[in-house]
Amino acid sequence: MSQRDRDDRPARRRAPDPRLLIGLALVVASIAGVVGIVAANDDGSEVYVAPRLLTAGELITSDDLEVRRVSLGADVSTYIAIGTLPEAGVVVARTIGEGELVPLGAVGDERGPSTTTIVVALTTPLGATVRPGDQLDLWGSPLEEAGRFGAPVVISSAAQLVREVAEEGLVAGAQAARVELLVPRRDVARILHALANGDALAAVPVSLAVGR
């Protein structure tokens, strides 16, 4: 056979290295396995999250909440799912912290009859660490003759701070603070009497008043 005939023959193709094929197969299998695991565990559900502190007695709608997808498994039934919130909204039954998922047990369809909100003027400022949602005992010192005040007593126990009310006009300098409180209805008459009588009022965090 001449040199020219040998040059005209098609070049023999080299067989691929079996080790390379095995390596590629393992990589593909690994990727497929990871994708399968992620897909199998992607059972997240969309639920509502509080974008800010929500206090008891507050009426909220879906516009007041954020949506987040989370994996809760069987526990998802204990939270408010997307599309289940009534258009009229719900009333917060207990404080819901900022960023907290909204549990079904923390809201109600209507304002509970056992509590109401009331604005009171305090003669002593709130502590610097007191925040909306904290529980407070409202103390009152009755105004007596000659401008003197009697011994303080608790006139509403475990009230909840809703917010501090911005003070305006001439009353701004006459009061230490004006606050909106969520209180039991049974305490409303005593609070209104204390306000009408000009009693000195102070709100003390429950944690500090335990040892009274």
Least reliable range by pLDDT among 3-12, 29-38, 190-199: 3-12
Is there a contact between 141 and 155 (Cβ–Cβ < 8 Å)? Answer: no
Higher confidence at residue 116 or residue 98?
Answer: 98
Higher confidence at residue 34 or residue 56?
Answer: 56
Q: What is the Cα 36 distance to its own chain's centre?
A: 34
All structural domains of the chain with their residue ranges? 45-108, 115-209
Is there a contact between 137 and 130 (Cβ–Cβ < 8 Å)? Answer: no
Is there a contact between 90 and 112 (Cβ–Cβ < 8 Å)? Answer: no
* Rounded Cα gap, residues 16 and 13, in angstroms: 9
57-86: average pLDDT: 80
Is there a contact between 144 and 200 (Cβ–Cβ < 8 Å)? Answer: no
pLDDT in tens, 144-158: 887 889 999 999 988
Topology of the domain covering 45-108 = Type Iii Antifreeze Protein Isoform Hplc 12 (3.90.1210)
Q: Kind and range of the H or E element at 47? A: strand 45-49
Which one of 40-49, 82-91, 195-204 scores highest in mean pLDDT? 195-204
At residue 210, the pLDDT reads 46
At residue 139, the pLDDT reads 95
Higher confidence at residue 76 or residue 82?
Answer: 82
Q: How confident is the model at residue 212 (pLDDT cuts 50, 70, 90)?
A: very low
* Rounded Cα gap, residues 187 and 73, in angstroms: 43
At residue 17, the pLDDT reads 65
* Token representation of residue 23: 């390596």
